[in-house]
Chain A
Amino acid sequence: MSQAIIEIRDLSLGFSRRRVLASLNLSLGAGEWAVIAGCNGAGKSTLLRAIAGVLLPDAGAITRSAEVPPEKIGFLSDRLSLFEDWTVARAIDFHCRVFQVGEFDDRLVKLLGVGPGSRIRDLSAGERAILHLTLALAQKPALLLVDEVLHMLDPYIRDLFVDALIEAVSDRQAAVVTVNHTFSEIERLPDRVLVMADGRFIVDGTPEELRGLMKKIVSREPLPGGVPCFFRKAEGDYKEYFIYPFHEEMRAKHALDFQDIALPEIIKAFIGGGYEQKRMA
């Protein structure tokens, strides 16, 4: 991996009495695609806002390298905040001027059939997400922060949206951080998966690593000792055991059917385990 373009150290951030991020560390390289998952309220959106500079850390530091000046950060928040009274044309004009955008590629917006004279407040959530993405991409961002907006989009637009992100990475080696709940569309995209719980990362690895580290056993029997179960889900008589961390030696030791599972399910298990731990605590 190339040198870090953004380095987060001991980042803590909270709102009045609630601590949302707790001594969090992260470093991202150019061209790296990280996906952040986690239960509701884990601090994902707050983290993105902190990186975008919209929220400022209470403690710790976020350092950006010279390749990421402020105008090269594309930020799509889940609020999709823009000046709502404005027309699409004015918003685009303003954005291009402020972020010093040379040429503006309006294919996506055109495709939606959104007229330049329409007011932003009259756009649907999906239309706004696309407009916002177009604006962010126009910046030719070195760092793209995309909060969970995929679920607002229809499958076709979702596809185009993902393609646009892929182009940003392949054309300019942009680093991408996405926050996702819906995973199926993008499960093969990230080279890094981060799972947050209680304001910190509980998992940080490549999809391959995670697939290697978590296996599933479906069984009516209780698990034998020595097999670490991260999370258990009951389906009638059968129970789904999510084994983490998994080692290949376990296959030899135990005559169990360790099943390979796909990334969305792995993440679901991590989130479920996170809830479990929270309940126990």
Chain B
Amino acid sequence: MNLMIDAKSPLPVYQQVIQAIKLEILSGGLRDGDPLPSIRDLAKLLKLNPNTVAKAYYALEAEGFSEGRSGSGSRVRVPPGRQDALRRAMLESEFRSFLGKAVSLGFSRDDVRQLIERISQ
């Protein structure tokens, strides 16, 4: 498992935890049916407040990415069909932030498009 939390990010920590776990699911680090680390273990691993972890787990459960009692009993659930949508959404959000930076560097959309084509060849 490789979960990253960015201390400087203005994004609340529990959302970062959610993102990190979703990313782990998408990248195949966590598969359907895998047990989620217990709140206590994850808090100790990431040096996070257990309440923060619990909050993230609740959110994940509400979104359907885990089931069972929150905490030690939770297991990963990957809702069929949602995986792709999620993957797409995350790529999109990464792309948006990339685009934003490109624009602030003074590039036009065409510049970006050409760049992508050149790199992907």
What residues make up the interface of A, taking CB atoms closer than 8 Å to B? 31-33, 162-163, 166-167, 169-171, 185-191, 207-208, 211-212, 260-263
Bound-state CA distance A256–B82 (Å) is 40
- Check B10 against A212 for contact (C-beta < 8 Å): yes
Task: Give the number of A-B contacts (CB < 8 Å).
Answer: 57
Q: Are B49 and A169 in contact (CB under 8 A)?
A: yes
**Stretch from B37-45, B85-93, B111-119 forming part of the interface with A:** B37-45
| Residue interface bits B36-60, CB-to-A below 8 A is 1, else 0 | 0001100110111111100000000
A15 to B38, CA, bound (A): 47
Query: Are the CB atoms of A169 and B50 closer together than 8 Å?
Result: yes
Give the docked Cα–Cα distance between A261 and B8 (Å): 5
Q: Are A188 and B44 in contact (CB under 8 A)?
A: no
Main secondary structure of the interface of A (DSSP, over half): helix
Residue of B nearest to A33 (CB): B49
8 Å CB contact of A189 from B9, B10, B47 = B47
Q: List 6 A-B contacts (CB under 8 A).
A: A169-B43, A188-B46, A188-B49, A190-B49, A191-B49, A261-B8
Assuming the A-B contacts A170-B39, A207-B13, A208-B13, are A188 and B51 also in contact, with contact meaning beta carbons closer than 8 angstroms in the complex? Answer: no
Taking CB atoms, residues of chain A closer than 8 Å to B39 are 170
Q: Do the beta carbons of A162 and B8 come within 8 Å of each other?
A: no
- Which one, A33, A185, A207, A212, contacts B51 given CB within 8 A? A33
Asked whether any CB of chain A lies closer than 8 Å to the CB of B105, the reply is no
Is the CB–CB distance between B48 and A187 below 8 Å? Answer: no
Q: State which of B9, B13, B43, B47 has its C-beta within 8 Å of the C-beta of A170.
A: B43
Residue of B nearest to A1 (CB): B51
Tell whether, in the assembled complex, residue A260 and residue B8 are in contact, meaning their CB atoms are under 8 Å apart: yes
- The answer to whether A162 and B47 touch (CB under 8 A), given A170-B39, A187-B7, A208-B12, is yes
Assuming A166-B48, A188-B52, what are 17 further A-B pairs, CB within 8 angstroms?
Answer: A31-B51, A162-B47, A166-B47, A166-B50, A169-B50, A170-B40, A170-B50, A171-B40, A185-B47, A186-B47, A187-B7, A188-B48, A189-B48, A191-B52, A208-B12, A261-B8, A262-B7
- Please name all residues of chain A whose beta carbon is closer than 8 Å to the beta carbon of B10 when the two chains form the complex: 208, 211-212, 260
- Expressed in whole angstroms, the Cα–Cα distance for A263 and B47 within the complex equals 14
Known: A188-B52, A189-B49, A190-B49. A263 touches B44 (CB 8 A): no
Cβ of A267 to closest chain B Cβ, rounded Å: 12
Residues of B within 8 A of A263 (CB): 7
Nearest A-chain residue to B13, judged by Cβ: A188
A212 contacts across to B, CB distance below 8 A = 10
- The reply to whether the CB of B5 lies closer than 8 angstroms to some CB of chain A is yes
CA distance A169 to B40 in the complex (A): 9
Query: With the chains together, A263 CA to B8 CA distance in Å?
Result: 8
Q: With a CB–CB cut-off of 8 A, which chain B residues contact A208?
A: 10, 12-13
Give the residue of B7, B46, B47, B51 whose beta carbon is less than 8 angstroms from that of A169.
B51
A91 CB, nearest partner CB in chain B, Å: 27
Nearest B-chain residue to A211, judged by Cβ? B10
Complex partner residue of B5 from A188, A211, A260, CB under 8 angstroms: A188
* Contact status B7-A163, CB under 8 Å: no
- Give the complex CA separation of A123 and B10 in angstroms: 43
Complex CA–CA separation, A32 to B9 (angstroms): 22
Q: How far is the CA of A163 from the CA of B39 in the complex (A)?
A: 12
Chain A neighbourhood of B52, CB < 8 A: 188, 191
Question: When chains A and B are docked, how far (Å) is the Cα of A31 from the Cα of B40?
Answer: 13
> 7 nearest interchain CB pairs?
A170-B50, A170-B40, A262-B7, A208-B12, A163-B44, A262-B8, A166-B43
> Taking the nearest CB of chain A, how far is it from the CB of B63, in angstroms?
20
